Chain A
Amino acid sequence: MRAISQVFASLMLIAITLAVMALYVVNLSAYAGAKKGLIYEVFSYRRKQLLERLSLIYVFTNSTHVNLVVYNYGDVDIVVKTILLDNDNIPRENYTIINVYGEDLGDVISTSNRLAIISIKTGMSLTKGVHVVTLITESNNAFTFTFGV
Chain B
Amino acid sequence: MRMKIISPIITSLLLVIIAASVASVLYFSIISMVDFNESSIEIIDAKLIKQYGNLYAYIVLYNSGETSVKVKMILHGESNNFSSEYTVIAPRDTSRIDIIGTYGYDFIVGEDYVIEIAGDVSASIIVKCSGLELTNSPIYIFAPSMLALDLLQKPHSKEGSIENVSEVVNGILETARKLGIVVKTITSLDEWLELVLNPKDNVIVINPFGEFIPIPQEYFNDTEKMLEFITMLHNNIRDHGWVWVHLSGYPLYYGISDSDYETIRNEGFEYLLFGSENMSVVSSGGSVQDYVQESEEDNTSRTVEFKSWLKTYGFSDLSTKLANRMKFHHSIVLSTGVEDMVALRFYTNPGGSQSGACVLRIGKGLYVHWGSPTDPQFSDKELGTLGLLLTIYSIIYLR
Interface residues of A (CB under 8 A from B): 1-6, 9, 12-13, 16, 19-20, 23-24, 27, 30-31, 34-35, 37-38, 41-42, 45-46, 49, 82, 84, 86-89, 126-129, 131-132, 134, 136, 140, 142, 144
How far is A30 from B66 in the complex, measured between Cα atoms in Å? 10
Having A9-B11, A82-B100, A132-B51, one finds 17 other A-B pairs with CB under 8 Å, namely A3-B7, A23-B29, A30-B33, A37-B92, A38-B62, A41-B62, A86-B52, A87-B54, A87-B178, A87-B180, A87-B313, A88-B314, A89-B100, A127-B311, A134-B131, A142-B49, A142-B130
Q: Is the CB of B47 within 8 A of A142?
A: yes
How far is A138 from B294 in the complex, measured between Cα atoms in Å? 48
Interface size class of B (residues with CB under 8 A): 35 or more
Q: How many A-B residue pairs have CB under 8 A?
A: 117
> Which residues does chain B contribute within 8 Å of A3, judged by CB atoms?
5-8, 11
> Which residues does chain B contribute within 8 Å of A34, judged by CB atoms?
36, 40, 64-65, 92
Q: Is the CB of A16 within 8 A of B49?
A: no
Interface residues of B (CB under 8 A from A): 3-8, 11, 14-15, 18, 21-22, 25-26, 29, 32-33, 36, 40, 42, 44-45, 47, 49, 51-54, 56, 58, 60, 62, 64-65, 92, 94, 96, 100, 102, 130-132, 178-180, 308-309, 311-314
**Within the complex, which residue of B18, B33, B60, B62 is in contact with A16, where a contact is CB–CB below 8 Å?**
B18
Q: Is the CB of A136 within 8 A of B56?
A: yes
**A3-B8, A20-B22, A134-B49 known; A127+B308 contact, CB < 8 A:** yes
State how many angstroms separate the Cβ of B58 from the closest Cβ of chain A: 6
**Within the complex, which residue of A12, A19, A41, A134 is in contact with B51, where a contact is CB–CB below 8 Å?**
A134
How far is A134 from B131 in the complex, measured between Cα atoms in Å? 9
